[in-house]
Amino acid sequence: MKIALDVSPALYGTGVADYTVELARRLPVLQFGYSLRRRPELQRLFPTARIFPFPPTGMHYLWNKLHVFPIEILVGPVDVYHSSDWAQAPSGAKKVTTIHDLAPFLYPGETSPEIVAAHTARMKWVVEECDKIICVTQNTANDMAKLFPQSSSRLIVIPEAMPSRFLLTPSYSYSYSYILAVGARQPRKNIDRLISASARLSKKLIIIGESNQTSPDPSVVFTGYISNQELVNYIASASCFVYPSLYEGFGLPILGAFHHRVPVTCSDISVFHETAGSAAVYFDPLDEQSMAQGITDAIKNKKTLVAVGTKQLAKFSWSHTANETMKVYKSLC
């Protein structure tokens, strides 16, 4: 059985990138990808992969819009083609794809029009052509079934696991107390409510994400994008990790907090119950007082939460993800 896996998303520093790298490391697949400006970087990540000098926008146009140029032209005959989350190529092979979240469809106003257009065009072909559609949580599978009911019989849930970058050993320990969050200023990330909730507690709040703006409140710090080492340093020293989102696909940073023995409090939404189980304090993400109480309770009950978090983390492994994904491939051949 010959399997082709599109590794192009590995460049983008997101949960999708983590998933792509971790899966490619563990599966006996033909790796291929494309990038114009970052081709050498992608080749370094996957030394044995076939990397082509094509821009992502060009592949979106060819594969999602025109739906021409089969992958066999690039990689030869294959039995299974596992597509990325960006482009769905035509192919004579059995087709598998992974859906990480449906934010471009559920929150289109918070996503650039170009990305919404790409995902909309791609999903048309996913729904029409993919033989199996892997969802990383049951929550995502439920959303997929609601938005694209014709795909329901082809959905399969295979959880992801903690990215290897969280395994780094902290190189620096912060001496001051702070609560930590990860997220952009998109409304669904709910950062503004978190800032208000932390103000009720007079606690320092550090927010890791795309915005490196300066806050008028000295107790709120936006770091902007940081290295994996800096991320681990911040997580390991935090008094509490807070995830206030209204919607996520999985919530990988929660597993990173479990690994570094940091108590977690997060929104009471179904996806976080899949990821965190009983190892987190849950709050109403629309209620600042509930959020503030969640932070207080998580810090107060650190010992218990850390112990349960260690057990919860053990439920997820990339070996399991890879094995279950291989079962999907084999079921099609």
What was the pLDDT predicted at 214? 66
Whether residue 232 contacts residue 224, with contact meaning beta carbons closer than 8 Å, is answered with no
Whether residue 92 contacts residue 105, with contact meaning beta carbons closer than 8 Å, is answered with no
Question: What distance in Å separates the CA atoms of residue 64 and residue 79, rounded to the nearest whole number?
Answer: 21
What was the pLDDT predicted at 216? 72
What was the pLDDT predicted at 212? 62
Beta bridge partners, 205, equal 179, 220
Say what the pTM is: 0.96
Whether residue 166 contacts residue 232, with contact meaning beta carbons closer than 8 Å, is answered with yes
CATH architecture assigned to 164-313: 3-Layer(aba) Sandwich (3.40)
Question: What distance in Å separates the CA atoms of residue 189 and residue 208, rounded to the nearest whole number?
Answer: 12
Question: Closest Cα partner for 192 from 246, 240, 241, 263?
Answer: 246
What averages of pLDDT result for each successive group of 10 residues across the chain (333 residues)? 97 91 97 97 97 96 98 98 96 98 96 94 98 98 98 98 97 95 91 94 90 76 93 98 98 98 98 98 98 98 98 98 98 96
What was the pLDDT predicted at 119? 97
What was the pLDDT predicted at 29? 97
| Strand order through the sheet with 220-224 | 220-224, 205-208, 179-182, 240-243, 264-267, 280-283
What was the pLDDT predicted at 163? 97
Question: What distance in Å separates the CA atoms of residue 186 and residue 289, rounded to the nearest whole number?
Answer: 21
CATH code 3.40.1710.10 for 3-161+317-331: no
Report the alpha-carbon angle 300-206-189, nearest 5.
Answer: 95
**3-161+317-331 against 164-313: fold identical:** yes
Tokens representing 4 are: 């082709």
What was the pLDDT predicted at 88? 98
Domains of the chain by residue range: 3-161+317-331, 164-313
Question: What distance in Å separates the CA atoms of residue 179 and residue 240, rounded to the nearest whole number?
Answer: 5
Place of tokens 């600042």: 288
